[in-house]
Structure formats: C-alpha cells, structure tokens
A = this chain, B = another copy of it.
Amino acid sequence: MAGDSHAPEMPEAAFETLDEPECLGLIAAGGVGRIGYTGRFGPTVVPVNYALYEGTIVFRTGRHSPMGEDLRTGIANAESKVAFEIDDISPATREGWSILVQGSAHPVDSEDERAAVIRSGVQPWAGGEKELFVRVKPTRITGRRIRRTGRPAAG
C-alpha cells in the first residue's frame, strides 16, 4: 500500500487484550485519567486526577463548572453515561497499554456518601472550588496492550 512507504523501521506490533482483573490492577494506581461524556458542545474529553474507591472511579470537579453541570442531569437519581480512560504509552518504543471504563457518572450528593468517598483521598489538581465528588460505576471495562515483537515490519 502507498501509505506504508512512510512506515518507520519499527518492529511489528503485537496486540493483546487485557482482562478485567488486569485492568482493575492498573486502574488501582490512581493518578491522571480522562473522562469522556457528551456535554453542551458535544463529545468532551477532560483529564482528571482520580482514585479507585470501592470499585468506582472517584474524582472531583466544581459543582457549577461546565463538567459538574453537564454530568448532572437535573433529574434526581438519573446518571450520565460516561467513559473513563487511562493509558501509559511510550512514544519512543510505541509500546504501552490503554484501558477504557464505560459506565454511569453518579454525583455524590448525600453527606454520608461524601464522608465515605473523602476517604479515597482524591485531590483535584486544578485548584479552586472542586467540592463535587463524582463516582463512575463501571459497567464495562476493556483494555489492550501493544508490544513490539523482534521482527521489523519494514526493511
């Protein structure tokens, strides 16, 4: 194919799927992930600092921020469908992994639940008032890893 003339001399990629326990092990480390949802301007992806707490992804945002408002449907107990993605990819070797959690975003409104998720210790990075805790309850967790095999693809 014409496009392959641009291929760098990289070993061929081996592609493997990660099972759910492997994914949860990688998610458990916490740190920066990216939350994806449909907001007022269409599909939206924003990095957040998160922690895994009792099987849910917990992060903080401003109650009156665009994300806080977009994730709140305004209907009591209704939840927004969201994606949560983490990855670790090396541009140098073109190896790495990525994980996609799909589920519903649940704004933490009750004082009891708030007291519980504060124990996750999750901090927002951007400063300002980030008083709204949001939990993502996974309904689907998928992951994949790319490794390079010994054989070069080009050359």
Question: Using a CB–CB distance below 8 Å, which chain A residues touch chain B?
Answer: 1-3, 6-8, 12-15, 31-32, 34, 36-38, 41-47, 49, 60, 81-85, 87, 89, 91, 94, 98, 100, 102, 115, 118, 121, 123, 125-128, 131, 140, 144, 146, 153
Q: Could you tell me the distance in whole angstroms from the C-beta of A81 to the nearest C-beta in chain B?
A: 4
Given known A-B contacts A44-B36, A46-B98, A85-B46, A146 and B123 have beta carbons under 8 A apart: no
Q: With A32-B91, A146-B125 known to touch, is A83 a contact of B43 (CB < 8 Å)?
A: yes
Query: Which residues in B have their C-beta under 8 angstroms from that of A47?
Result: 85, 87, 89, 98
Q: Are A43 and B82 in contact (CB under 8 A)?
A: yes
